[in-house]
Amino acid sequence: MGVLMSRRQTVERVQKVSLAVSAFKDGLREQPSTRRRAEAGTTRQGTLEQEVQEGEEEPSAGPSQAEESSASKAAWERLRDGRGVEPEEFDRANRFTPPAFIRPKRELHDDEPPDISLEQREQILNDEMCEICEVWTAESLFPCRICHRVYHDGCLRRMGYLQKDSAVEVTETAHTETGWSCYYCDNLNLLLTEEEMYSLMETLKSCKIIPESCLTLDDFLHYKHQVHKQQFERTMPEAQEEQAALQFNALDPDKKGHIEWQDFLSHESIQLLQKIRPQNALLRLLTPKERERARAAFLALDQDNDGFIGEGECRQARHTWFRKHQKEMLSCNVSISHVGPISEGSPASSRNSKSPEKILPATKQEEIRSIDWPGFLRENVVYILAARPNSAALHLQPPA
């Protein structure tokens, strides 16, 4: 008969194993970099790595410029590999080795319409063991509101994904209806393929965007102007500039006067997906938890049960999709198999509360066009994906 380890014994065992694994991987980590430098001359020209190297092989003016060049190269590599921001002052002692993110690949059938039934509900099951240490400790596991993974808070800290300022927030929201997204789902940039990521990096480099930096409103508008001019070879219209300014405000909910790098990167990633992938391909990115929440939202809006909703109701869903109320903690007694966050402002919550002030008025023209379940999914999928990050920023501002 197996013996159930205590939490202290589990942590001690995980620490011993992780230290040994980290030391082994640290030794292997130096070898690929040496091999890449030796093989740099044989790689094909025009690749992103060569362009980064060529830009950094210019004569340096001194040690400070060399250090800056090295930091810039490391930042671009983190962006390419989807590892996010890793400040140099971060204490790496006694931490787990970060996972090697593998970017997705497009499949031949991705553009075909997926079969997502409205009537057939999906069973939501979370993993039983921590994604990092693969140890089960029941209620101490933090579930992701998007995918099936669960985590220990201690493992998240040692991975570097749970800092002091976010530890309390994760602890308070993971078991509530608000929910918490794990580091896979929180990073929209990881949805991009290698080709799509290369395209985005080329755009950022051509517009002289410094990775891992904050952007002011002037920086953001200047970037949008440059991107528009590259694509259409003409100046961006004033109406689009106003829309870009509204998007900046949505990315800066705390009115700091700038947007964080991760929010900017998530916004650009979802914009690129919306631009180059058909809606059927985007629908295939939805997880069972997201599809189940979409069903709940549609059924709540379809009050006469005829399988159709008005355009005004669909517009309401776009504006309130999974709107996060992080300061309004509802309950900490939610099972880890809970479907996910359905906030008070979301359309799914109208099943329990149908106050008239929460429904936006719809015009007669909007009510003329009826939208069925597949149409509801297609028109909302990009906003469902954009709502994945934990940040309070609105990464894709719906049109008015």
Domains of the chain: 142-186 (no CATH), 189-276 (1.10.238), 279-322+369-399 (no CATH)
Could you say which DSSP state residue 128 is in?
S
- In this prediction, residue 328 carries a pLDDT of 39
Q: Which residues pair with 143 in a beta bridge?
A: 150
What pLDDT was estimated at residue 341?
A: 38
- How do 150-151 and 142-143 pair as beta strands? antiparallel
- Quote the CA–CA distance of 200 and 206 in Å, as a whole number: 10
pLDDT (tens digit, 9 = 90+) per residue, 152-168?
A: 888 888 877 776 666 67
Instruction: For the chain, give the longest Cα–Cα distance.
Output: 73
Q: Which residue has the tokens 């790496």?
A: 92
Q: Give Cα separations from 241 to 23, 207, 230, 300 (angstroms).
A: 51, 17, 15, 36
Mean pLDDT of the chain: 74
228-241 pLDDT, tens digit each: 999 899 999 999 99
pLDDT, position 82: 65
Percent of the chain topping pLDDT 90: 37
Distance (Å, whole) CA 142 – CA 153: 7
Residue type, 298: F
Q: Among the listed ranges 42-56, 109-123, 211-225, which one has the minimum average pLDDT value?
A: 42-56
Report the C-alpha gap between 111 and 283 in whole angstroms.
9
Q: Residue 275 — very low, low, confident or very high, per pLDDT cuts 50/70/90?
A: very high
How many residues would you count in the chain?
A: 400
What pLDDT score was predicted for residue 317?
Answer: 79
Q: Is 133 in contact with 99 (CB distance < 8 Å)? A: no
